[in-house]
Structure 1
Amino acid sequence: MTNIVVLIKQVPDTWSERKLTDGDYTLDREAADAVLDEINERAVEEALLIKEAQGGEVKVLSAGPDRATDAIRKALSMGADSAVHLNDPSLHGSDAIQTGYALAAALGNVAFENDEPADLIIAGNEATDGRTGAVPAIIAEYLQIPALTQMRKLIVADGKVTGERETDEGIFGLEATLPAIVSVTEKINEPRFPSFKGIMAAKKKTVQTITLADIGVEDGIVGVDNAGTTVISSTPKPPKTAGERLTDEGDGGDKISAYLVGQKII
């Protein structure tokens, strides 16, 4: 029996227009359609596969505003048992270190039905709206537990988690004793689609909403005003312009070649 927490995040849909807010230049999350990050679907799927193989409980944990409940319900409809939603306006603009600190504090307050802490924490390797790829390792440092990152294969057995990590240098076998945190890549699995039964069941599952005060995090520790990294200016991308039309009068190939050379493409 394994107690698993999956870290999930609601992000702007990659097909939507993304823009920054005026003033603090943080991501304007209300300006785009929001979805459960695809890599988080794979993290949830991996947790469910482990649970189906050896029993246990799967909780999802998400930090975000009110609308993040949509992403949470998606994870619950896939089969997660319950959820914890860290919802506090003071989190706005937090950088990776602040986010990792808040999530680590929240993880310390996550309780399972057997009153035991989490054995395994699963996250995606990076969120599509930030792509720092650092939060799982930051959480591991705060919690003082092993971190296995960029995993493409996982096996949980005998109080250990083992698997394969793929890098530019090759594939490496990693192993750690539980409790541990792992981050997975898109090669880990293919996530299931929520069934109608799962969607209906998700409406009855427990979503516990907590604030920073509930987990002992002071407002001034997190948030845009105390972030270690900030955006101080931005330039909107230029509008699309009409392309250049070339008339082929028998020398089309030469014109195209000259254009490509002029653009330093070749």
Structure 2
Amino acid sequence: MKKSIVLKLTLVLVLMISLFLPYSTTTTNAASKETATVNVKAADVREKASIKSKKLGTLKKGTKVTVYEKTKSGWSKINYKKQYAYVVTKSLEFTSKKQKESYLMDTKRTYVYKLGIDKNYVTLSYGNKNKNGYNLWTGKDIRLETHAEWAKETSEGLFFGLGDINAPREDVKYISYPIKVGKTWSSFDLTFHISSINKTIKTQAGTFKNVIEVECYAYDHTDDEVKHLQTYYFAKNIGIIKLIDSDKNMISELVKISEYD
């Protein structure tokens, strides 16, 4: 008897809730929320996914929106003034997966790092990209010593090239994609391990959230054991922001980041 009453009450509740849900005959492709930017001069916002539907307003070029669904007929469902509305999908530019998960240094900026505990600094500026896809970063520290960094990013991960200013000699994978806590891999006789993906790290350049912490290990033939060498910290769309040794002493730290002149 009790089970029957509970079942009836459940059915009534479901019917009541369904009365408040929006009804649409538009067929959509199920998808998670995406971020997009208006890439036309003005995008009309419609009440429904139809050119004949009521116009609610317009969005200027550069406006960022959250897209909840994409219809097969070429419309995107967005939130507009606290209600769902639609814009033509072709009027939007979607943030790619690579952009969302990029940990490569931004080629439009210059980076200033502090080296060690003394007052030695190095400014790295983007140079060029070679045929193997590596970006070259060069600069000089206050002692006028030349520094060169080769870096590239693929669907497999973030790589740094060992070598000099002329060319990288080896690929060393410092981040392996897709990113996952506990992930371990080997590269160039080194072992890397992702120990965190949500660290908050303070540097002289500012405080960075959701930072990836990557620990590096190597086999010590003298002591016949694997030892912890260094820990790297990477910020999304910025790159490496800090490097410490096994005793947590600072090796390098981002001091300043600015737009490239």
Fold agreement, TM-score > 0.5:
no
TM-score (normalizing by structure 2): 0.25
Whose strand proportion is higher, 1 or 2? 2
Structure showing greater Rg: 2
Tell me which of the two structures has the higher relative contact order, counting C-alpha pairs closer than 8 angstroms and 6 or more residues apart: 1
Whose helix proportion is higher, 1 or 2? 1
